[in-house]
């Protein structure tokens, strides 16, 4: 691409560093900003800079937070003895949206994946194991995605805590609510039969 | 979406103002920035701010430029008597990439489109007509997209300049190089037959 402006070129180059944003899309976004009032670009730049500079990782659960300890961990009404283990802060947001979980979280920051060069030491597994060893945790719910990497990570953690008095569970796998059985993959359908639950439990909340 | 951080929420909201970027994509992009070194976010913010603050519109052709007059208009080797009329700076970039045009440009900034509330006064038609009236222009090449809005804009300009001694032309429409005839739409194929050119001209450059 031939740019008539170095300033434009640099903005497009930086924008195109973002995942899934190619040069053409970056150009479209930057030209859009040029057509908008200057404030919009100023607000965007400021919001990104402030976020990157000031956002913190919760000391306790590693969730993203504005304070040293996140709102969930500092909420006395939540059950601090139940920890839901997730990969990413997006999983925290997804589970919070359901309003079905009153415990706290532990964000691993990824899954063990040798192919991507991610080993256990790059994740927050150490501090999770310490929490369990402290004896204050009653239940650990594994809520990782059910991929090979997710299962590997679950087992790696499980091996380190299985001798401590903690209940371990994993979120239910099955046919999604509203889905047609005939289109479900056989592994999921198979699991949903093997792991069937008493009918009376299926229309109870909590 | 429930955010655990106001800073994160604000960054996502600003990012989601960009066209084609929804809240989920914005969150993905912002979380990506959080995983990268702080410099990347700083560079992106700075590039966007500087671009928006300092980029200029060329006094002559309205192309985006770092100086008052753009590189193309200030280039003495280019033919200043031939003006290619385009909608957008992306069209300038596309034509420059072909390296087939040695004249200069005039960027309209859009097309006449009553549905989108864009009338002639919002475009740079006035200054284009002035250039033609000055008598220094030899040829005007219309290179707008061949839509109803593009044709309307062409005719609007043409009506104002047709009594002045200027050659007007429009870029060739036809089957794209490498395309199969059988898949071409009939309007394009019809035009490419009506507007056929001498065979010897088809393998000449310029």
- Domain range summary for chain B, segments of one domain joined by +: 6-54, 77-171
E strand segments, B11-144: 56-57, 64-65, 79-86, 103-107, 139-142
pLDDT, one tens digit per residue, over A138-167 is 999 999 988 899 999 999 999 999 899 999
d(CA B9, CA A155): 34
Half-sphere exposure of A120 (CA within 13 A, CB side): 14
CATH number of the domain located at residue range(s) A69-171 in this protein: 3.40.1360.10
List the single residue in B14, B28, B40 with the smallest CB-CB distance to A47.
B14
pLDDT, one tens digit per residue, over B62-93 is 999 999 999 999 999 999 999 999 999 999 99
Q: Which fold has domain A6-54?
A: Helicase, Ruva Protein; domain 3 (1.10.8)
Res. B176 pLDDT band, cuts 50 70 90: confident
Q: What does the pLDDT read at residue A205?
A: 62
- Name B87's Cβ contacts closer than 8 Å, sequence gap at least 6: B107, B108, B109, B110, B111, B144, B145, B150, B153
CATH 3.40.1360.10 fits B77-171, yes or no: yes
Q: Between residues 143 and 182 of chain B, which touch chain A (CB distance below 8 Å)?
A: none
Taking chain B, what is the end-to-end CA distance rounded to the nearest angstrom? 57
Q: Is residue A196 less than 8 Å (CB to CB) from chain B? A: no
More confident residue, B199 or B145: B145
Helices A6-15 and A23-35 sit at what angle, rounded to 10 degrees? 120
d(CA A171, CA A173): 7
Tell me A76's DSSP state: T
Could B97 and A47 be called an inter-chain contact, meaning their C-beta atoms sit closer than 8 Å?
no
**DSSP secondary structure letters along B132-178:** HHTT---EEEE---SSHHHHHHHHHHHHHHTTSS-EEEE---SPPTT
CA dihedral A67, A68, A73, A77 (to 10 degrees): -60
Could B25 and A29 be called an inter-chain contact, meaning their C-beta atoms sit closer than 8 Å?
no
For residue A23, the cross-strand partners are none
Q: Do domains A6-54 and A69-171 have the same CATH topology?
A: no
């Amino acid at each position: 691409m031939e740019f008539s402006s170095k300033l434009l070129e640099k903005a497009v180059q930086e924008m195109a560093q973002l995942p899934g944003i190619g040069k053409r899309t970056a150009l479209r976004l930057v030209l859009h900003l040029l057509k908008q009032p200057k404030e919009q670009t100023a607000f965007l730049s400021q919001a990104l800079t402030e976020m990157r500079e000031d956002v913190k990782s919760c000391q306790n659960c590693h969730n993203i937070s504005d304070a040293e300890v996140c709102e969930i961990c500092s909420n006395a009404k939540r059950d601090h003895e139940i920890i839901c283990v997730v990969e990413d802060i997006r999983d925290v947001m997804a589970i919070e949206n359901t309003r079905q979980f009153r415990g706290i979280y532990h964000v691993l920051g990824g899954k063990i994946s040798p192919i991507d060069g991610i080993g256990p030491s790059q994740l927050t597994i150490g501090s999770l194991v310490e929490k369990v060893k402290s004896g204050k945790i009653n239940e650990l719910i594994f809520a990782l995605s059910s991929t090979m990497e997710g299962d590997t990570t679950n087992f790696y953690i499980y091996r380190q805590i299985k001798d401590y008095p903690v209940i371990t569970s994993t979120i239910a796998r099955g046919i999604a609510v509203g889905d047609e059985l005939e289109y479900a993959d056989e592994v999921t359908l198979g699991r949903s039969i093997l792991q069937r639950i008493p009918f009376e439990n299926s229309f109870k909340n909590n």
